[in-house]
Structure 1
Amino acid sequence: MAARLRSVRWSVLDRALIRRGQSPADALRQTVRFAREVEALGYGRFWLAEHRGVPGVAGAAPTVLAAAVASATTRIRVGTGGVMLPNHRPLVVAEQFGVLESLFPGRIDMGLGRSVGFTGAVGEALGAGKDAADRFGAQVAELLHYFDDDDDGEGEGRVAAVPARGLRVPAFVLAVGAGGAIAAAHGLPLVMAHLSDEDRMPAAIDGYRAAFRPSARNERPYVVLAVNAAVAETAEEAALLQVPEAWATAWSRTRGVFSPLEPPEEILARPMTARERRLFAEARSGHVYGGEAETAARLARLAERTGADEILLTLTAHGDAGRLDSYRRLARIAGLPGGARAAPAPAARGR
């Protein structure tokens, strides 16, 4: 079990969620501080999500936030998980990542997704129509082309993405919709979210690997498994860590608003309708949590079953202490150097 977990790479995804009583600025500064803590623990990447027009989420501009994170750190790779390409022009995205890679050479990742606006109104404000996601494959191809060093952008009708041209920025595709097929066709790594129906994951990953075409960017398939995971002294405490984000997700599906994160004890004490209970349970399904031994066993089984090359961990608790303690424990499970040095923190009691 330990050997399997030490054979994969370990990274972190942060969504810059807002806690109750915080401002968006508070949440963004907290993300930058958290990146420094994650780097000290030995994680390999720190990725930032894109959620535009969503109350309760400060991470609306992942490339801008990536610049702040990269400036505040020295070693860890920084990227997006991901830029939702249907919301953008590929030329602009290429230029943004060209700037990032130029400023922080060898440390930038370009994760790409196909989701559109949080609501129809947000999609309209972004200029992304209902069919925007259908153009994702063509957008990926156009975006990658801007990095080709054989395209000098000269001549009538030619456009150069300065300073992206000729730079090697690793690109990843999120497995949403046809993401697996698009990643395989372009020879790119695939980011697969851990599904509550674990039987579906191996088939989807096997399909990606079978269709993979080696490219100048990648000679072989590469799978990143994104897992919402929490570890604490007890399984009960670990479960509490995941309550705030799960409730905010359930609330967004009933009210259309992703509410700021609240203390877990308050959430569990409030009355819920039957629909809210169902959505809350669905939001928590597929999460991995427990003490260190049981969580290590679960993650090892997932890594073995999927053949994942990398595990991308995500967790946003209501308070900092519980989340940092969880990532310290996960670092120990993974055998990361910072995890070996970190003394166990006091139990956070779900906070």
Structure 2
Amino acid sequence: MNSRLSLLDRSRTRAGEASPIALHETVARAVRAEWLGYDRVWVAEHHSVPGIAGSAPAVLLTAIAGATTTIRIGSAGVMLPHHQPLVVAEQFATLAAFAPGRVDLGLGRSPGFTPPVRRALRQTDHDFAADVTELRGYLTGRSEVSLHPRPDGPIPLYVLATGAGLQVAAALGLPVIVGGPLLWSDGGALAEYRRAFRPSPQQPEPWVAVSLDVLITDDPDLILPEAWAMARSRTEGEFPPLEPVAVVRAATKTSRQQQYLEQTVAAAITGPRARVESRLAELLERTGAAELVAAGSTYDRAALAASDAALAALFDRGHPTNGSLSRP
């Protein structure tokens, strides 16, 4: 299992807590991930979502950069339709000045969560491929507009891939981070990405990371807070803060909510170490992924920290014990 290991922390809020606590906890989790030997920590961009405090990746990553020294830090991702490519390039070049050689820029194109949010973001139709190309030109010095500050080294780009995103990444020669239904499909989309891939100076060959909820735990209900939030977002139109497992168990659920809850649980990889190890080994082999992006979250932060440590051990990161999914 020659795969890298990273965390995606979306700064999930908890019921009854002030949302800034989630941002401080994201930084603390990144510090622990560095000590545990994780290769990378990713943060995300969401706007006006009660359950997520992470709205400004470049700002949050700067806080993480100041609290860490070796772990790579990246966005998964910046939603490029919300921004001018030059501004994104300037933000991440500035970030790289504080964390040279550690910054990665993942790019997505998801719309704002609701119509009012999309209006507030001044979101219009964009040519995603053209915007990525423009952004890459600024970062590599191949644009008529010079970037200041100038990065001392490369800032690698990644594409958060849906079907169309895979096509863009293949045409531009960029690595992809894949999640959602693509992980459990027949693999045709990934095969087509690899077949259509055009080498670039950054990436001479296709490269895939897979992202999904992963929790190592003896409590089968640990995933329920995240699954319940997802079910409510799909039925009520609002992605809420995480609630305790006991609250989720006791909540009255419609048939549709129960269906969505069960779908989210089924798409996650959770359970005792042996079960997680077996399912991850199958997923990584089937997808040929070079990196696992573990995106699991739950209300209980102590349980989440224990899962992070167990996952690092599973990938033989040296803390706290050796595991078996080692990387040379």
Per the normalisation by structure 1, the TM-score is 0.88
Q: 1:345 maps to which residue?
A: none
Is 2:138 aligned against 1:146?
yes
Change (3 A) 1:165 1:40: closer
Of 166, 171, 190, 1:185 maps to: 171
Which residues of 2 match residues 218-229 of structure 1 at below 5 A?
218-229=203-214
Deviation at 1:148, TM superposition (A): 2.4
User: Where do 1:95-244 residues align within 5 Å?
Assistant: 95-129=90-124, 131-132=125-126, 135-151=127-143, 153=144, 159-164=145-150, 167-195=153-181, 198-200=184-186, 202-232=187-217, 234=218, 237=219, 239-244=220-225
Aligned-partner Cα distance in 2 for 1:197–1:182: 18
Q: Offset at 1:164?
A: 4.1
SS state at 1:81 partner: strand
Q: For residue 195 of structure 1, report the CA deviation from its aligned partner.
A: 3.0
Which residue identity lines up with residue 195 of structure 2 in the other structure?
A: A
Residue of 256, 277, 287 corresponding to 2:268: 287
Mapped partners of 2:242, 2:61: distance in 1: 23
1:66 counterpart residue number: 61
**Identity over the aligned pairs, expressed in percent?**
42
Deviation at 1:19, TM superposition (A): 0.5
SS at 1:83 equivalent: strand
Q: Distance in 2 between matches of 1:197 and 1:46?
A: 21
Q: Could you say if the C-alpha distance between residues 197 and 148 of structure 1 is closer, same or farther in structure 2, counting changes exceeding 3 Å?
A: closer
Secondary structure at the counterpart of residue 191 of structure 2: helix
For residue 38 of structure 2, what is the aligned residue in structure 1? 43
Question: What is the rounded CA distance, in whole Å, between the counterparts of 1:331 and 1:273 in structure 2?
Answer: 37
- Where does residue 76 of structure 1 map in the other structure? 71
Instruction: Indicate conservation of the 8 Å contact 2:65/2:98, yes or no.
Output: no
Asked whether 1:273 is paired with 2:254, we answer: yes
1:328 paired residue among 284, 309, 312: 309
Q: Which residue number in structure 2 is paired with residue 156 of structure 1?
A: none
Return closer, same or farther for 1:113/1:144 CA change in 2, 3 Å cut-off. Answer: same
Contact map agreement 1:98 1:167 (CA 8 A) in 2: no
- CA distance 1:17–1:117, shift in 2 (3 Å): same
Say which SS state the counterpart of residue 54 (structure 2) adopts.
coil
Please list the CA deviations of residues 103-147 of structure 1 after superposition, one character each: whole Å capped at 9, or x if unmatched: 211000000001010011101110113x34xx2111111110112
Return 5+ residue gaps in structure 1 as ranges: 154-158, 343-351
2:239 aligns with one of 255, 258, 274: 258
Letter in 2 for 1:274: S
How far residue 285 of structure 1 moved from its aligned partner, in angstroms, is: 2.9
SS, match of residue 213 in structure 2: strand
Report the RMSD for the aligned CA atoms in angstroms: 1.6
Task: Look up the equivalent residue of 1:145 and give its one-letter code.
Answer: G
Where do residues 9-48 of structure 1 align in structure 2 (5 Å cutoff)? 9-48=4-43
Letter in 2 for 1:206: A
Number of equivalent positions:
323
AA matched with 2:100 = P
Normalising by structure 2, report the TM-score. Answer: 0.94
Matched position secondary structure for 1:241: coil
Query: Equivalents in 1 of 2:183, 2:250: separation in Å?
Result: 29
**Secondary structure of the structure 1 residue equivalent to 2:22:** helix
- Supply the AA of the counterpart residue of 1:62: P
Runs (4 or more) in structure 1 with deviation over 6 Å come to: none
What amino acid is aligned across from residue 158 of structure 2 in structure 1? Answer: F
Superimposed CA distance per residue, residues 75-101 of structure 1 (whole angstroms, 9 cap, x where no aligned partner): 100010000001111010000011011
Distance 1:197 1:63 in 2: 28
- Give the drift of 1:314: 1.1
Structure 1 contact 146–164 (Cα < 8 Å) conserved = no
Is the CA contact 1:196–1:286 (under 8 Å) kept in the aligned structure 2? Answer: no
The answer to whether the Cα contact below 8 Å between 1:18 and 1:261 also exists between their aligned partners in 2 is yes
Distance, in Å, in 2 between the alignment partners of 1:98 and 1:319 is 35
- Residue 339 of structure 1 deviates from its aligned partner by 3.8
Shift of 1:196: 7.7
Task: Name structure 2 gaps, 5 residues minimum.
Answer: 324-328
Contact 2:213 2:297 in 1 (8 A): no
Rounded to whole Å, the distance in 2 between the matches of 1:32 and 1:11 is: 14
State whether residues 162 and 182 of structure 2, in contact with CA within 8 Å, keep that contact through their aligned partners in structure 1: no
Letter matched to residue 144 of structure 1: R
Contact 1:85 1:112 in 2 (8 A): yes
User: What amino acid does structure 1 have at the position aligned with 2:283?
Assistant: L
**8 Å contact 1:17–1:57 — kept in the other structure?**
yes
